[in-house]
Structure 1
């Protein structure tokens, strides 16, 4: 199945969709260091099958999407720049020049794929952005109902609402669903919440829902404080229910007396890096690329690091350098240190063969902006299975147009 990837960054979503079976016709990214990361890994064949990736280092607004084919693209995927909606950004939303949701909608309109996957930060769901979030989904539902030249987004949204409430539309349209997913609930060693918007072209007749979580905190607590399996796995003495876990007696009884837990335990930082050597500041590891200690990690109010026996806090890109509180490991003795690039890559579920290009702060920015590969793969595999089950479908013959009603 053919796909294109927009706003590729360091390749988190692209790797997930690739591993789900999609063949990328092109990957689009404007950041030079991220493009270097993609090119180097493609040329090194870091992951089987990516040596044919075609990386386009350009502003997506300048790109004619018909260059990727006409009518044979099965999936358009991308993580539009999150800074306009991020809790750590300037919150300018639709007024931010980095708002690329209209370009994603243009790709869907011009390529008319059988499905699309769009992801973004949790901040997109804030009350202050709710109207624009609904507007994004309406644009993707009816991508051929285009915005008029003199129309602002609220006027366009009102027109889309009229089309939607009418309940019938003869042109190309998509059945769109959205959900907030926590990467930790799908086996990623990080508490990272991302909004996914997924759509299937209506003429495919396909029904789809988001995959159910496979991992849980309750399962991790069971392994730690009831069976002790977690500590045994790491060759450590079993810990008690310490204050940091905040387990009440009621919670413990609920776990002991409740139904069997069907999910797997959350994956912790210790789980993720257990087989790696302790990093050194004077040289990089010979076994693992990008595994070198960056000194200088400090605790300060609101920035205390991620406990090693829990999934990491959300890795962040930072506006002014690396945000240390989110990108540190907090050990049981009270000490902290920065995650190395390789450890951060594992927290983002990148394969060890995936090498990152650029200075430390730039690479950590790439990682902080990335979609966890494991989470992307879970969603993409579910979409791929539905598309494969339906077989090839003819592309819709409609092209973009504007409706006045």
Structure 2
């Protein structure tokens, strides 16, 4: 099935789409280093051995005309800084807001489905009206904004159409806030997904259910001990259960262990413990696995514990991403994650090479969609579309 990837960044969502069986007709990204990363890793996007167009430039200038009526899915992560909790919170007033471009792409190509991803901040109360506006535009992409209209006036017109019930939405749109850790990603990363299917297809779809849970991680640590045994950590070296979790652990211990359907959350230790110590250069063989000095703890930036999913990797608005992309060692000291370690936390494969200086590659990773989460959502959409022809 053909797809177009907009705002591709380092390619996390695009790779997840390819793994789910989609073949990219075009990949669109404006950043030079991110484009170089994609070029160096093209085989990860060619799921059927076919080539694709890599458009390096402003997505608003990409000509979608040749793809009209001939693309199954459009996907992408419109730049999240306008809505990020760590950004300037300008929302639709931010010139980096690319949701209008995403809507226009849907209108011009009329794909059978679309998948768009953005930060949790998009659901903030202060952005509620604009989120509704985006949702309704994606539901009725052919109802375009008139030159004389403000976005508020356009929203009012869309609300009138939607509430009247006289016109069926062109796309049935669902959205949900997903935590990547719930799907086997070793990172607590909450992202909003907007998924739409063309209503004439009559598809019934819902978001995939979580496969991993925090409770099961607690159980594997403090009830069965399986987590520590798997990592060969002797009892005398295991930390004590957190005081605030003791009641919860007690409840888990009394639960029937039969019929468990979920796996434990993946942790930083699960993800990177087999990698060589980056402070021992003679041991390093993997690309992008280089130690960077200077990590320090300060208010709001304390790093990620070894035995939990990592905190959300951040791109950072000002150079190095705020000091939060750090590992807390067993002795309590901190160091920056290497690019390869951060890539593992985003579930990129080890042969995926990132282009650019350390700060730039960490920015690419901080903006990326975890590959595994992207694949889970994309595969669910693929199965729904494939079901039409069965």
TM exceeds 0.5?
Answer: yes
Aligned residues of 1:208 and 1:386 also touching (Cα < 8 A)? yes
- Cα 1:285–1:52 shift into 2, 3 Å: farther
What is the CA–CA distance in structure 1 between the aligned matches of 2:102 and 2:256, rounded to whole Å? Answer: 44
Aligned residues of 1:279 and 1:292 also touching (Cα < 8 A)? yes
Query: 117, 123, 146: which is aligned to 1:119?
Result: 117
Aligned residues of 1:9 and 1:29 also touching (Cα < 8 A)? yes
Q: Which secondary structure state, in structure 2, belongs to the residue aligned with residue 313 of structure 1? A: coil
What pairs with 1:1-80 in structure 2 (closer than 5 Å)? 1-42=1-42, 49=48, 52-67=51-66, 69-80=67-78
What is the CA–CA distance in structure 2 between the aligned matches of 1:6 and 1:47, rounded to whole Å? Answer: 16
Query: 228, 233, 236: which is aligned to 2:230?
Result: 233
Give the equivalent residue in structure 2 for 1:222: 219
What is the CA–CA distance in structure 2 between the aligned matches of 1:136 and 1:48, rounded to whole Å? Answer: 31
What pairs with 1:329-344 in structure 2 (closer than 5 Å)? 329-344=327-342
CA-CA distance at 1:371 after TM superposition = 0.5
Q: TM-score, normalised by structure 1?
A: 0.92
Give the equivalent residue in structure 2 for 1:270: 269
Give the equivalent residue in structure 2 for 1:402: none
5+ residue gaps in structure 2?
A: none
What is the CA–CA distance in structure 1 between the aligned matches of 2:98 and 2:55, rounded to whole Å? Answer: 17
Aligned residues of 2:17 and 2:374 also touching (Cα < 8 A)? yes
Aligned residues of 1:281 and 1:294 also touching (Cα < 8 A)? no
CA-CA distance at 1:246 after TM superposition = 3.1
Aligned residues of 1:298 and 1:324 also touching (Cα < 8 A)? no
What is the CA–CA distance in structure 1 between the aligned matches of 2:26 and 2:228, rounded to whole Å? Answer: 45
Query: 179, 182, 186: which is aligned to 1:185?
Result: 182
What is the CA–CA distance in structure 2 between the aligned matches of 1:49 and 1:316, rounded to whole Å? Answer: 32
- Cα 1:257–1:45 shift into 2, 3 Å: closer
CA-CA distance at 1:284 after TM superposition = 8.2
Aligned pair 1:318/2:300, yes or no?
no
What is the CA–CA distance in structure 2 between the aligned matches of 1:314 and 1:308, rounded to whole Å? Answer: 14
CA-CA distance at 1:327 after TM superposition = 0.6
Aligned residues: 386
What pairs with 1:377-388 in structure 2 (closer than 5 Å)? 377-388=375-386
What pairs with 1:6-405 in structure 2 (closer than 5 Å)? 6-42=6-42, 49=48, 52-67=51-66, 69-169=67-167, 173-238=170-235, 239-243=238-242, 246-248=244-246, 250-260=247-257, 261-280=260-279, 282=281, 285-286=284-285, 288-391=286-389
What is the CA–CA distance in structure 2 between the aligned matches of 1:197 and 1:46, rounded to whole Å? Answer: 22
Pairwise CA RMSD: 1.7
Could you report, residue by residue, the CA deviation over 1:86-132 in whole angstroms, capped at 9, with x for unpaired residues? 01111110011000000000000010000000000000010000110
Aligned residues of 1:281 and 1:295 also touching (Cα < 8 A)? no
What is the CA–CA distance in structure 2 between the aligned matches of 1:25 and 1:53, rounded to whole Å? Answer: 5
Aligned residues of 1:6 and 1:29 also touching (Cα < 8 A)? yes
